A and B are shown apart, each in its own frame.
Chain A
Amino acid sequence: MTISHLLSARAARNVHVVRATRSAKLSAVVLAAAAAVLAALPFLVFSTVTDTLINLFVLIALASMWNLLAGFGGLVSVGQQAYIGIGAYSLVALADLGVQPYLAVPLAALTCAVFALPTSWLAFRLRGDYFAVGTWVIAEVYRLLVVRVDSLGGASGKSLSGLSGIDATLRGALTYWIALALALATIAGCYLLLRGRLGLSLMAVRDEETAAASAGIDVRRAKLLVYLVSAAGCGAAGGVITLSSLSVNPDSIFSVQWSAYMIFIVVIGGIGFIEGPLIGALIFFALQQLLADFGSWYLVLLGVVGIVAALRLPRGLWGLVPGPSLFPIGYLVRRSDGPA
């Protein structure tokens, strides 16, 4: 197009666009080193430590998926436990069919994406608060359906088969590595997704849906994609939870508590930042460990922290951190006209 050429030629001369700053590259190296140390832990520490860390990795993965959905896609769901549950049950069912449970984790993710597609037709008819409540209802419906299936253990749940042949220490280490890989994959996945053209469209949709459509964005498709990715991520997390607990119980795996955790973590960590779920999960995990002996006071304190964070820190803890992002997804324009 002539106008486009006319305009671009004028601008291209003295402008360049930067994506990643030097400090961001440094932080990537630090993160990679941290991941390497974490990967070596099963050789260095007792399995009680690594077993606890599995919990942290699952929380990071779940919170990242919720942040992607709500913080970048603008889809505030209270029903992602639907996919945690479906993922967990898929793993159990696949193991029953003879699939190696560790290899069944990605298949559980895929199964969730398949379930998420028709579910989205229903959920996307609702907006805002109604979407939130609707997703919760959908999760409950999935729980009620699962409970009706006798081969899945009904209301009492089912234990995971196919791992009895593996030594307990090795099993713990394998589960740990898979949980670590899941946490890293969700963070890297969010980063790569958001850094691309699709990520920019998503953020535009989140900020202004009508204007996004006028910008040429297929709003429905963008939302659907982020919904499917989030479902798959939560499904994989559900699979890892089951690998770790070796059984699945419908009431706990489909519990709305998972959504409460995800929201809490993302809100205190910083919604709309890739770093948010990471920081939030670390804090939540620390609180869990520190306050575990305080019984119901643990929940009270957690509630207080959540309320204070929501009131005082609308952008979460990461919102307080000045300086460049660890995961730069934006564009920085540098102009070199005038005396440099």
Chain B
Amino acid sequence: MTSTQTTSTTGTPDGAPYLEVTDLTVKFPTADGLVNAVSDLSYSVPLGRTLGIVGESGSGKSVSSMAVLGLHDARSARITGSIKVGGREVVGMDERDLRSLRGNTVSMIFQDALAALHPFYRVGQQLAEAYRVHHPSASKKEARARAIDMLDRVGIPSPKSRVDDFPHQFSGGMRQRVMIAMGLINDPALLIADEPTTALDVTVQAQILDLLQDLQREFNSAIIMITHDLGVIAEIADDVLVMYSGRAVEYGSTREILSHPEMPYTWGLLSSVPDVHSDTNARMIPIPGTPPSLLNPLPGCPFEPRCAHRDKVPGDLCSTTLPELRPGGRGAGHVKRCHLPDPDAIYEAEVLPEIAPDLAKEN
């Protein structure tokens, strides 16, 4: 049932979603047992919109996005559910069709551009290769011209000479621009950015996010922004999906989620964001404990062992029953996976005064 609810939550009157993920489950058999990397995940992104996926390391953000490109080794990953890109089913798609999808209609930008670009090939070669594999009729000259054009578009100065440089000759920010240029070279309808700004300093980070937004306006592509930084989400995302332990725990529009979070894990994420503008009395509160093992999921809410508010739920509901992803008190557009009866009140009464005293007073 959760799938039908979530697809309606993105609140997009304009057109059907371009990417539609329904009940996606990814499991990896290992020597220790089956790792449930992603469980029953559903979300959707229409063209021209940005979905932010947040969560700690190991929460299944990247794994679920790699599945959209079919990048998991069929021998080592068990994938069920449905991933529809522009109406085409990706789960179970054969390798040939997947290849024509990858880097073409769906492309991915990776976190560490220095590691993600081949150290031995000039950036021009790498860009041209990405172009030519999907435009077999293009000549080398055309591909090179296209590479230079893309480098120019992402704001690399003197692209005509830089096209012949190697990745290690670029600065971190410029390298990430190269990565973006490569991701956009075939005008993808869907761009998955896997923590594209994590390795960069804040000013460069802001530039890269601006660039992505500009390019999105230009190409009207759908973007998935994977990050653990809520600042990035606030800046760029239209919708937010919060993931924990391989599951969606909260999902809704960015404005909704950031102003009225209803799940203690999201509160925890908000509490651990440093903010230079905020009151100096505001505290940065880390989430205690560590994420649970994905090997043997316990019954109940996966966040229960770390949750500071579990006592407010009657009985042992939290430790015995996995909460469903369903709308809370704020309409169908905002779903959360939590047993708390009145989370909004708890947030305003207990959490907000701790993390943003000035905001709490205004309310």
Q: Are the chains A and B members of one assembly?
A: no
Question: What is the interface of chain B, defined by CB distance below 8 A to chain A?
Answer: none
